[in-house]
Structure 1
Amino acid sequence: MERLYTEQLDIAYGDVSIVDNLNISIPSGQITALVGANGSGKSTILKAMARMMKPKAGTVFLDGKSIHRQATKDVAKQLAILPQNPIAPDGLTVSELVTYGRFPHQKGFGSLSKEDKEAVRWSIEMTGMNEFYDRPVDQLSGGQRQRAWIAMALAQGTNILFLDEPTTFLDMAHQLEVLKLLQKLNKEENRTIVMVVHDLNHAARYAHHMVAIKKGTVICSGTPAEVMKLDVLREVFGIEADIIPDPRTGVPLCLPYELAPEAHKSAGGSAPAANQAAKSNELAASSR
């Protein structure tokens, strides 16, 4: 049995249900990518599994125990989460930011122990941020800033790392920089990584396991080859696409070329349908 999984998980914002009866397992020691259209509930599921929000019903299990019944510090020693677009206080340096990752291991407001300092040093070195040790985070480029936040999560010393759209707003080079770092952490440190990813081809190339989600429901899960199927892409994303093997890795690549028929109907629907779409967009915004 995997270390982290859910059973009959229901998640809601007020009276609005986002996820119903979710049963999902996260393979230990692998990279898992949650994929789906905007507003599908990916980020909501990630937050619930990382204990950032409490489900309406059901359970998230970590090492056989309900994650929401465990002490916060105990959970923080097992998993770390990097939310979307985190913002550091003005003037905070990289080393100061990374030090925050040691809070779950400290007692009261004591100074850093030798172990804490070593964890901070190692995390900064692992993420290639040595030259920016004393640089304010708000003076870094987007890719450097994201690596600094990942270093903070690493300093937390957890085996499980959650990331919510870690490549959002980054250019292609910085996206690859972050994804290769996560791949390195998985290979060299055996970290279990769970991330929400928008780019299907990034998910297929860097993840071992993919979970395709639509309206809070898992449509398909498995290896990239098992998930990147034409029928799955039609149902989850509303697209027609060609699937070809990556010439370097052999994993499937998605080349979308047209909206699926149902997506066409949705785009050209009546006024009531358009109103419903607007409501769906508002719901999507609230569920991110």
Structure 2
Amino acid sequence: MARLAAEQLSVRYGAQRIVSELNLAIPDGKITALVGANGSGKSTILKAMARLLKPDGGTVYLDGKSLLKMDSKEVAKQLAMLPQNPVSPDGLTVSELVSYGRFPYQRGLATSTREDQGMVHWALSVTGMLPFAARPIEQMSGGQRQRAWIAMALAQGTDILFLDEPTTFLDMAHQLEVLQLLDKLNREEGRTIVMVVHDLNHAAQYAHHVVAIRDGQAVYNGTPEEVITEEMLRQVFGILADVVIDQRTGVPLCIPYGLVDGSEESPA
């Protein structure tokens, strides 16, 4: 049984239902990628499973307990969430940002403990940000900033890490830098990682499990080889594409060539 699962999960924004009676189990110790067109409900599902949104119906379970019934600090010790485009106050150093990850373990106005300091040092080290610990966040490159935010999430000491489009607005080099870091955290630290991903080829290369979302429902769910198919791309994204096996990585490679507009013939 998966540690984290949604059962009959429904979420509304005002009068509009975005997610309806979703059942989804997150594989333990794996990287799961949520993919789908814009507005399909990917980020909403991620936020609801991270308890940032209150469901309209259904339940998210963590270790058999309803997430909504758990104490907030206890939840924060179990899972961490990195939203899209996080913003920090001007002048905040990398080390200060990462130290915020220790908030669930602190009481009142108590200063950080030796354990807190050790976790901050470890998070900075594992993300490669230790040399920049005293530097202001605004002086970091896009990839370095994202690694600093990931370090803050790691400092929470959680086994589960949620990331909402962690490579958005990064150039190709910095995208790979972040994805390789997440891959390392999964392999070496055993972290369960759930992330919303726009690039299907990134999902195929770095995720063990892929969930394709359409209209708030998981319409495809499985390994990259099972999910990233030409039929899925037509149904979920409305695109025509060839899917081949990448000879370098052995995973599916998506090559789009058109839109589903009544004509499904590949160009000569």
Work out whether residues 238 and 263 of structure 1, in 8 Å CA contact, stay in contact via their aligned partners in 2: no
Instruction: Determine the C-alpha separation between the residues in 2 that align with 1:186 and 1:166.
Output: 15
Alignment partners' CA distance in 2, 1:150 and 1:261 = 40
| 1:82 partnered with 2:82 | yes
State the match for 1:161 in structure 2.
Answer: 161
Q: Aligned with 1:92: secondary structure?
A: coil
Counterpart residue identity of residue 182, structure 1: L
Paired position in structure 2 for 1:59: 59
Which residue of the partner structure matches residue 50 of structure 1? 50
User: How far apart are 1:229 and its partner, in Å?
Assistant: 1.1
Letter of the aligned partner of 2:26 in structure 1? I
Distance 1:50 1:57 in 2: 15
The alignment partner of 2:54 has SS state of coil
Instruction: Name the SS of the counterpart of 1:28 in structure 2.
Output: coil
Paired residues of 1:238 and 1:262 also in contact (CA < 8 A): no
Matched, 1:131 2:131: yes
- Matched with 2:236 is 236
Please, what is the CA RMSD of the aligned residues? 1.0
- Residue 9 of structure 1 aligns to a residue in which SS? strand
Q: Which amino acid aligns with 1:233?
A: L
Q: How many angstroms apart in 2 are the aligned matches of 1:109 and 1:193?
A: 31
Moved more, 191-200 or 239-248: 239-248
**Structure-2 residue corresponding to 1:102:** 102
Residues 205 and 96 of structure 1, relative CA distance in 2, 3 Å threshold: same
Runs of 4+ more than 4 Å apart: none
Specify every segment of 5 or more residues in structure 2 that has no aligned partner in the other structure, as ranges. Answer: none
Q: CA deviation at 1:263?
A: 9.5
CA distance in structure 2 between the aligned counterparts of 1:236 and 1:207, rounded to whole angstroms = 18
- Could you say what secondary structure the match of 2:181 adopts? helix
1:261 Cα offset (Å): 2.8
TM-superposed deviation, 1:100: 0.1
What runs of 5+ residues in structure 1 fail to find an aligned partner?
Answer: 265-288
Q: Is 1:246–2:212 an aligned residue pair?
A: no
CA distance, structure 2, for counterparts of residue 130 and residue 154 of structure 1: 14
Q: Deviations over 1:101-155 (max 9, x none)?
A: 0000111111111100000000000000011110000111100000000000000
AA aligned opposite 1:183: D
Q: 1:243 to 1:108 in 2, by over 3 A?
A: same
Instruction: Please show how residues 184-203 of structure 1 align to structure 2 within 5 Å.
Output: 184-203=184-203
Task: Return the TM-score normalized by structure 2.
Answer: 0.97
Code of the residue aligned with 2:208 in structure 1: it is H
Return the TM-score normalized by structure 1: 0.90
Whichever structure has more helix as a proportion of its residues is 1
